[in-house]
């Protein structure tokens, strides 16, 4: 079932529309990572988006798939949202971050879509009138370091098959995290933090956001419980 929604107000603190519009997120990233920061320029982001979705593309019924922070803090304006499943990818903490949820000295991990399996998340239908502008805003959020690979995918919803966009892991990028022991992931998520807050809060907010939508991810719930236990033991 889809439900009308007003996404102009984020559901939790963190990155905001204004921070993306005025490039504050990129500034914070550069401050955090210093001279080593590799932040995409506006021209690079625009070129990247146009390679996937042209300025004159048909966006009359276009959706964006959220599987992590987009679920609880979508930011992008949209007319409807729906529970959706995709196939060929699964949700995993497989991207290193030294900025938003980590630091150069203590990198964090964030979610992406890795190859294989399936994933249930939330799809957002963009308003055709401003879809391209919202996609450009989304590119500033997700493609700042070019760690993701934007992909057009099929979204399976209870109102039928929809065409949409998802940001999947790019194994060729240095930020890609190979599979690691569960306890190693627990340690990273428990202690890393960046300008956008602790890595563990990102995990907790994602789990709560999914549960609020009726989505259960037992691996993420197991990780959240292990992180809480790890912190309680110190």
Centroid of chain to Cα 214: 19
Collapsing DSSP to helix, strand or coil, 198 comes out as: strand
Question: Could you give the CA distance from residue 10 to residue 15 in angstroms, rounded to a whole number?
Answer: 8
Tokens describing residue 230: 């790890």
Question: Could you give the CA distance from residue 226 to residue 55 in angstroms, rounded to a whole number?
Answer: 45
42 annotated active-site:
no
Question: Could you give the CA distance from residue 93 to residue 183 in angstroms, rounded to a whole number?
Answer: 13
Strands in the chain per DSSP E: 2-4, 63-66, 78-97, 108-126, 148-157, 160-169, 193-194, 197-198
In this structure, are strands 108-126 and 148-157 parallel, antiparallel, or unpaired?
unpaired
Collapsing DSSP to helix, strand or coil, 122 comes out as: strand
Count of CA atoms in the C-beta half-sphere (13 A) of 179? 5
- Pick from 152, 155, 22, 19: nearest CA to 75: 19
- Which is catalytic among the residues 11, 42, 142, 187? 142
Catalytic residues: 142
């Amino acid at each position: 079932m889809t439900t009308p929604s007003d996404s102009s107000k984020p559901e939790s603190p963190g990155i905001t529309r204004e921070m993306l519009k005025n490039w504050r997120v990129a500034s914070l990233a550069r401050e955090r990572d210093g001279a080593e920061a590799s932040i995409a320029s506006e021209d690079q982001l625009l070129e990247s988006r146009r390679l996937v979705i042209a300025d004159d593309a048909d966006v009359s019924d276009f959706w964006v798939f959220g599987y992590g922070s987009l679920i609880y803090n979508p930011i992008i304006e949209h007319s409807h949202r729906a529970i959706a499943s995709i196939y060929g990818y699964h949700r995993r903490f497989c991207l290193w971050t030294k900025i938003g949820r980590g630091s150069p000295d203590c990198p964090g991990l964030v979610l992406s879509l890795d190859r294989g399996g399936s994933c249930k998340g939330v799809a957002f239908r963009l308003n055709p009138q401003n879809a391209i502008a919202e996609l450009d805003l989304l590119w500033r959020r997700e493609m700042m370091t070019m760690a993701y690979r934007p992909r057009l995918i099929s979204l399976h919803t209870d109102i039928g098959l929809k065409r949409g966009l998802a940001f999947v892991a790019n194994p060729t990028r240095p930020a890609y995290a190979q599979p690691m022991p569960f306890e190693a992931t627990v340690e990273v998520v428990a202690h890393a933090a960046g300008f956008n807050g602790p890595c563990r809060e990102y995990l907790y907010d994602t789990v709560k956001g999914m549960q609020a939508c009726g989505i259960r991810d037992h691996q993420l719930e197991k990780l959240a419980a292990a992180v809480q236990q790890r912190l309680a033991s110190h």
